[in-house]
Structure 1
């Protein structure tokens, strides 16, 4: 009983102590929470003050920077004003030379078909065909600074340059363009013709075409299995600066040899051009080919068992596919004389083709002042255009053939 009474007396005191302890803990936690809130409030206040300080500083910096920019702009405006004022006092430089293109735009556009043929050596239909075929390679676009040369004008000035033995300056003044532009147009036109039209117009005949050519020479001149006539002409050029070779004598001149095989219709089906060599009118043709690949091409066409051959002059090297006339001696028989006569008559096909070539494109008649590579391209271009005109049946005027045609490499006119 005493123990129970003791426990009953201690229980209220323990409960009271626990309640007092819990109350103290609650007050301590409340003070801690209040302190934390005060610290957060102080921190927010400091942040707001610091943000305001930075905003004021940024505003001051922006204002000072704006003042500096305004001052700099005023300074640059003043400098530009004085610079332009000084420039306006000077006479402006002329960067575009004034030219008049009245001949091409008015005179040439009003040409009749005969006048057009006389000036450009091709018909209007052939001219349109050239422009259409070469448009991807020759078409140019206008720029912000100047207009490009139209396609028709580029083709026309190149044909005029090839048709007449004139210099670049004459063509430039006639078509109202620069000399450098004429040179560039001629070079680009020749390159485009060689890349696009030459594979179509100057090709080795197939078997059926070779049979037709052989039949033509058989019925016309009595020569069987003849598929072409070989001839060579000279194109005189100036001596290149890097050319070290000297002329063997005072009568020699530098020339490029054009070697071509002509079919019965007077069209070229094989072309070869040589490097510049010294030639002399008083000497005969040297026994050499214009290029090393010519004999290989002829072997592929004629072969060893086909029996076909081409006609050549006595100056060419002897080959089993090349038929040459007999040597002109006093011991020739009647059959040999008839044979030589037949070959001479058949050789007129090549002479006639070269006459029409040089008559239509007169740039081949006189010495060409262009570089050697451009001259070679011009020669091949003239041959390709010759085939195109012959294929399209363009008219050839007799007055185009000069009275003194250029000498060929074999000594004939």
Structure 2
């Protein structure tokens, strides 16, 4: 089953998606391809977590922006098939589609309902930021992974995610870090996503 949020704005269970960069040593080939927006050599870990801050889907190894990583992940290919009456929560780095709900872009003209929606969504999807923070605090090598070879690095990151899921949730303090940027998407999917978001927005209590 796909990582999901039930299609009720009052649901207590939800899942969130985001990406984080893992800084690595310069690879032997195509070094420039691994330079991220901060000027570091890195690869991207995209992950989905549940309300218990446990990973239920990960995709690691790509070196590009979240838009490209997301569209090439197994999660994306299965999203429409498996996520019928459920939503996944993402930030503005992701597209707003029929099954992935993101905030309204603040252009200075948001309505009160849209601002309220953004606040509710932010409070719901903050779990993934916490999850990445906990992961990197537990396994500090993920701040700068010095292993050689992309395959070995990816195996190490996956192992850290598995061990994170086994560990107790409250065994350490963590620090949140701000991450990625913005992307574009297929117009038809954006249109359906906007309709879904508008429906939820109107149902939320002020």
Query: Please, what TM-score do these two structures have when normalized by structure 1?
Result: 0.39
Length, aligned pairs only: 181
CA shift for structure 1 position 409: 3.0
Which structure has more helix as a fraction of its residues? Answer: 1
Provide the rounded CA distance (Å) in 2 between the counterparts of 1:342 and 1:406. 20
Equivalent residues in 2 for 1:158-307, closer than 5 Å? 204=1, 214=6, 222-224=9-11, 227-243=14-30, 245=32, 252-277=39-64, 287-290=67-70, 291-302=72-83, 306-307=84-85
Query: Please, what TM-score do these two structures have when normalized by structure 2?
Result: 0.74
Contact kept, 8 Å, 1:288 with 1:317, in 2: the verdict is no
- Which runs of 5 or more residues in structure 1 are unaligned? 1-203, 278-284
- Which runs of 5 or more residues in structure 2 are unaligned? 183-206
SS of the residue 2:67 aligns to: coil
Contact kept, 8 Å, 1:223 with 1:342, in 2: the verdict is no
Cα shift readout 1:278-323 (whole Å, capped 9, x = no counterpart): xxxxxxx553224332211323330xxx321101111113421110
Partner residue in 2 for 1:397: 172
Partner residue in 2 for 1:352: 130
Partner residue in 2 for 1:372: 150
Partner residue in 2 for 1:282: none
CA shift for structure 1 position 406: 5.5
Provide the rounded CA distance (Å) in 2 between the counterparts of 1:372 and 1:326. 36
Provide the rounded CA distance (Å) in 2 between the counterparts of 1:410 and 1:331. 21
Which structure has more strand as a fraction of its residues? Answer: 2
Provide the rounded CA distance (Å) in 2 between the counterparts of 1:269 and 1:229. 10
Gap change, CA 1:293 and 1:396, over 3 Å in 2: same
Provide the rounded CA distance (Å) in 2 between the counterparts of 1:263 and 1:239. 33
SS of the residue 1:336 aligns to: helix
CA shift for structure 1 position 356: 1.1
- The structure whose Rg is larger is 1
Partner residue in 2 for 1:338: 116
Provide the rounded CA distance (Å) in 2 between the counterparts of 1:241 and 1:359. 28
